[in-house]
Structure 1
Amino acid sequence: MIQNFQYLIQTPDGTSIPSFWAYRLYAALLEQLPVEFADAVHEQGFSAISQYIRFDHEKHQSIWVVSLLTDDAISYCAPILTNITHLSLHESTIIIKKIQQSDVLTADTIITQAEQLSSSQAVRIVFHNAASFKSNGIYQIFPTVPLILQNLLQRWNEFFPEMLLEDDDAIQMLTNNLRIRSYRLKSSTYRLKQSSIPGFCGEIIISSKLSPPMLELWKMLLIFSEYTGIGIKTALGMGGVSIFV
């Protein structure tokens, strides 16, 4: 199951928060949780939490988006996230105001949402902050359809084992019938502790020539991506996306 929270965040003097502070907010949140759960989160291949900071340019506000991706994460974190008002970092105290809290979502909920989306064959994916992939030990700083699909399919199967997506023919049809039609991207790095991870941010438009059943599957993965993020280190603040169909 999945639950999503969104917050307006700022420092006491009203300063907006840079996206790379998402890692610090994540660390501060883990400090509020039982040690056994925090340790388990670190040990998982895919974290039970995905989170990032995006900047709303129209309102000049920093928004913290947190998604809980497992039953345990919801059980441990939701009570804290429901009532949280601030987090203390070394640099500053972050004032937190909740602006949205979703109902608990299931795989069936996501499928229903996908059915309600437009049947447009084109989708715009906005990468709000630095995103990256890693293949053969090398950071990939440009998105490709196979990298995006592989990442989302692995995550789906990790979090919804009761509804595995393992049909090789279906996956090949997705890969063959999706293409990046246009992009407005720039290179970006994500500062993490003592290192900087190379990546990209901006937006891409992916067009498709999918049959209706395959288009439903693609839309389902797209909706899922808004909660999980796309790429590596989404628990630490990378890869936050919004989907526009």
Structure 2
Amino acid sequence: MIYKLTAQLELPQELQTNNLGSTLHGVLMELLPTEIVKQLHSASAYSPLRQRLIIKRGSKPRWEIVSLSSELGKILMNCLMDRTSILLKHHQIEVAIGNISVEKIDETALIKDCFSQQVSPRYIKLAIQTPIAFKSKGEYEIFPDLQKFFRSIMLTFDSFFEDYELYDSETLTYILENVKIVDYRMRSTRFHLEGVRIPSFTGELKFRISGPQPMQQLIHLIIQFGELSGVGIKTSLGMGKYTLVEPNN
């Protein structure tokens, strides 16, 4: 079971930035039980905790926390549901927290829903809400590389849901043959993380999907899961969040 917690934060204007993701990760480490924090720090490359601060013009900043583990999801609920504020130690400010909602997504139901669609949209548009980057051979990559994009999400899925397997090299190759970027509005940016500025990109992407219906269904599953898990590096610290928009175009 996947847990998604969403809360509004009453942040001062100067703190309304995606870069606050690292600070908010620190807040969670303070709130979670010590044993859970140790497990998260000693986890493999794939942490079950994903969180980010989403800034949207005209709306209050939204803190989105995703757990790819049922156990952690329940603990996060216990830690956050009754809270009215959080302390940002680095900035020495108490921030009001409100309107916390919880959504539970069953991965089996998600799979069945995607593969039951008789007609899947052939165009997918993504709005990137926090900076995305990939890392290869010690260097950051700031371009929307489709191979790295799909591989990242597929490997994350396989790491937490052992009853299913999305990734193998042949499947990935077939996906790349059937997905093309047909439109984009991109810009490079930097994600600030503990004194480091990570080169990354943001903006919008539009894909066209070809191939048989089962392939289209698989790609929609990967995209929808990635909307929860994030994609690329530092997804626990606030990077890698996108939203699926205009799914029927």
Call closer, same or farther: CA 1:20–1:117 in 2, change over 3 Å.
farther
Unaligned runs of 5+ in 2: none
Secondary structure at the aligned position of 1:84 is classed as: coil
Paired with 2:140 and 2:127, the residues of 1 have a C-alpha distance of 20
Give the superposition deviation at 1:233: 0.4
Paired with 2:220 and 2:54, the residues of 1 have a C-alpha distance of 23
Single out whichever of 115-124 and 231-240 deviates more from structure 2: 115-124
Unaligned runs of 5+ in 1: none
Structure 2 match to 1:42: 41
Contact in 2 for aligned 1:28/1:89 (Cα 8 Å): yes
Q: Matched residue pairs, number?
A: 242
Structure 2 match to 1:74: 73
Give the superposition deviation at 1:140: 0.7
Contact in 1 for aligned 2:47/2:236 (Cα 8 Å): yes
Call closer, same or farther: CA 1:99–1:31 in 2, change over 3 Å.
closer
Give the superposition deviation at 1:137: 1.4
Alignment of 1:85-164 (within 5 A): 85-90=84-89, 91=91, 92-103=93-104, 105-114=105-114, 115=116, 119-164=120-165
Show CA shifts across 1:195-245 (max 9, x none). Answer: 111101111001111211011111111110111111100000001110121
Call closer, same or farther: CA 1:3–1:118 in 2, change over 3 Å.
farther
Structure 1 match to 2:214: 213
Show CA shifts across 1:79-137 (max 9, x none). Answer: 1132232110121112111253212x222121134245961111011111211001121
Structure 2 match to 1:21: 20
Paired with 1:164 and 1:205, the residues of 2 have a C-alpha distance of 26
Call closer, same or farther: CA 1:233–1:108 in 2, change over 3 Å.
same
Structure 2 match to 1:84: 83
Structure 1 letter corresponding to 2:85: H
- State, as a whole percentage, how many aligned pairs show the same letter: 24
Structure 2 match to 1:203: 204
Paired with 2:85 and 2:117, the residues of 1 have a C-alpha distance of 36
Contact in 2 for aligned 1:16/1:61 (Cα 8 Å): no
- 1:189 corresponds to 2:190: yes
Call closer, same or farther: CA 1:213–1:102 in 2, change over 3 Å.
same
Give the superposition deviation at 1:186: 0.8
Give the superposition deviation at 1:78: 2.0
Q: TM-score, normalised by structure 1?
A: 0.92
